[in-house]
Amino acid sequence: MIHPINMFEGWGWLGAAAVHLVVMTWALSRTYAWTGNPPRNALLFPVSGLLMLILIAKALRLCMTGNVTWRGDAYSRPRAA
């Protein structure tokens, strides 16, 4: 059995993703309005989400390598014996 959205050959999934993004942004704008913040801030959600993913990826890389450089000084974790 073929999934119904597959009849659009991938475009259906892109459309579903676009609808999902619109619904998430609308729900976030309603949440912002409910808390007394400007609803227009929800439009920055895709940018802030991307920045958060970049920060998490960088943190994971630092955890995996164990090497941190801070203001010209390099720190590394001691190796287990």
pLDDT for the residue 1? 63
- In the DSSP assignment, the letter for residue 78 is P
Say what the pLDDT of residue 39 is: 93
This model's pTM is above 0.85 = no
Comparing CA positions, the residue from 25, 64, 58 lying closest to residue 42 is 25
Give the pLDDT of residue 81. 61
Band the pLDDT of 38: cuts 50, 70, 90: very high
Number of domains in the chain: 1
Host domain of residue 21: 7-70
Within a domain: 42: yes
> 35-70 burial, b if ≥16 CB within 10 A, otherwise e?
eeeeeeebeeeeeeeeeeeeeeeeeeeeeeeeeeee
Judge whether 79 lies within some domain: no
Q: Which residues contact 24 (CB under 8 A, 6 or more apart)?
A: 45
| Residue 65: per-residue pLDDT | 82
Examine the pLDDT at 61 and tell me if it is beyond 80. yes
